[in-house]
Amino acid sequence: MHMDTYREQANLLRLMGHPMRLQILDLLRSDDECVCHLSAVLDKPQPYVSQQLAVLRNAGLIVDRKAGTHVYYGLANGRTGQQVRSVLRGPAGDTEQGHCPGHQQIAGCCCPRCSAESCARDA
Ligand SMILES: [Zn+2]
């Protein structure tokens, strides 16, 4: 019983023991984001970001949600999601900072949220 819990946590930490994946998870802690946005924030090519997202999704750490032609990624709900949240301590998910909590607008990003005139949550 306990051994299973430790195995599960070890697996989780192994997956999170990667700076890029950790940053992705930290970004998703505040809000769902699409691949093009994550690619702009991380300054990495989309195929690379997609690959990391696939690893995290296959492991059940994140889930994808289709909205029109875009796919948004967010942290999984339930126990796995809670464990991920409890481990994350990065600055990207700190919603106390920045004028637009949840979504960091990136100049030149082509995602629908960044090309929008204003942040919906500011209203
Ligand atoms: Zn964007």
The answer to whether 60 and 76 have CB atoms below 8 angstroms apart is yes
| Residue 59 Cα to ligand 1 middle (Å) | 25
pLDDT band at residue 98, thresholds of 50, 70 and 90?
very low
Question: What is the pLDDT averaged over residues 68-85?
Answer: 91
Question: What is the pLDDT averaged over residues 72-94?
Answer: 87
Nearest to 35 by CA among 74, 61, 87: 74
Return the pLDDT at 104. 79
Return the pLDDT at 92. 78
| Residue 57 Cα to ligand 1 middle (Å) | 20
Q: Give the tens place of pLDDT for each residue, 102-116.
A: 787 888 888 888 886
| Residue 10 Cα to ligand 1 middle (Å) | 32
| Residue 38 Cα to ligand 1 middle (Å) | 7
The answer to whether 101 and 86 have CB atoms below 8 angstroms apart is no
